[in-house]
Structure 1
Amino acid sequence: MGDVEIRPARSEEYAAAGEVTVRAYDVDGHLAGDVGYDTVLRDVARRAEQAEVLVAVDGAGEVVGTVTVVLPGSDFAEISRPGELEFRMLAVAPTARGRGIGEALTKAVLDRARTLGIPKVVLSSLEGMRGAHRLYERLGFARLPERDWRPFPHISLIAYQIDV
């Protein structure tokens, strides 16, 4: 992990960040039956206009991970309320997994909340993203079942929160 830098995405990295996100979701089967979400995942430029997109970049300059940091009330907010920072679309390139990149990106979100003086971080996660759930729980996130929700009848999202 020492060769990976976490920082705001640069416009010339948007396409790569979008592809990393789509590949990560697709390889785990999270795009099956959800026609069109890949377009949303690829559109990093739009997310960067409305939110903060962080990338993990390796020593060769390749984007190997990304996460979108969202303020409550913004276009990309799903469950956040005042006093909560939200993150979405955490993804690590399948070829870069097992190096602590997802954890580093998540910790960068927590650091961002502290910098902004926001006391809580929340997120929604697909019910089947078990590896991500293990990461969140290991970092101290707690389930927030009262905010679980379904954007579509066939998609269940579960919520987590942590105090920072």
Structure 2
Amino acid sequence: MDQGKYIVRNARPEEFSSIGQLLVGAYSQLDGFPKEAEQPSYYKMLANVGDFTEKQNTELLVAVSPTNEIAGAVVYFSDMAQYGSGGTATQERNAAGFRLLAVKETARGHGIGKLLTQACISKAREKGLAQVIIHTTQAMQTA
């Protein structure tokens, strides 16, 4: 699997459900991350990740193979007011952000996460934004 063969594009509405399941699967496997029974509303948000696209200046990006197979996804915010993670991130100005990055288990270790991250950084640069914010927790050491 070569990351050079993958492209990053906006997710299509008919892909939202499968992307949500990708996120649920990835996050539920993280060591130390709360399980669905402990945080059902968080997992509902993951499953319905396509809902983020209803927010202004928010995109759901996917890395897809030449056969259009989704290898990973991330939510990109060109306006931090839409970020929704709590804390001080939403107060950042002249900044973009991304969160909820996940890579399909069979695609891990091939640079898909890096490809998605670089796409977010490129989008921020195109808008002339000064920084890119990432939301992570102790259980997300890979991030």
Short-chain TM bin: 0.7 to 0.9
Question: Structure 2: 5+ residue runs without aligned partners?
Answer: none
CA distance in 1, matches of 2:83, 2:103: 23
Question: Structure 1: 5+ residue runs without aligned partners?
Answer: 133-164
| Structure 2 counterpart SS, 1:125 | coil
Per the alignment, residue 97 of structure 1 pairs with 108
Between 1 and 2, higher relative CO (CA 8 Å, sep ≥ 6) is seen in 2
Task: Provide TM-score, normalisation by structure 2.
Answer: 0.84
Q: What do the CA deviations read for 1:29-66 (whole angstroms, capped 9, x no partner)? A: 43423222111011133111111110011222121100
State the superposition RMSD in angstroms. Answer: 1.6
Task: Provide TM-score, normalisation by structure 1.
Answer: 0.74
Per the alignment, residue 73 of structure 1 pairs with 81
Q: How many residues are treated as equivalent by the alignment?
A: 132
Q: Percent identity?
A: 33
Question: Larger % of strand: which?
Answer: 1
Moved more, 57-66 or 25-34: 25-34
Q: Relative to 1, partners in 2 of residues 1:77 and 1:36: Cα closer, same or farther, differing over 3 Å?
A: closer
Moved more, 112-121 or 53-62: 53-62
Aligned partner of 1:117 among 98, 114, 128: 128
**Superposition deviation, residue 77 in structure 1:** 5.6
Question: Are residues 1:38 and 2:43 paired?
Answer: yes
Q: Is the 8 A contact 2:71 2:107 kept in 1?
A: yes
Per the alignment, residue 24 of structure 2 pairs with 22
Residue identity in the other structure for 1:86 = G
Q: Is the 8 A contact 2:83 2:97 kept in 1?
A: no
Per the alignment, residue 8 of structure 2 pairs with 6
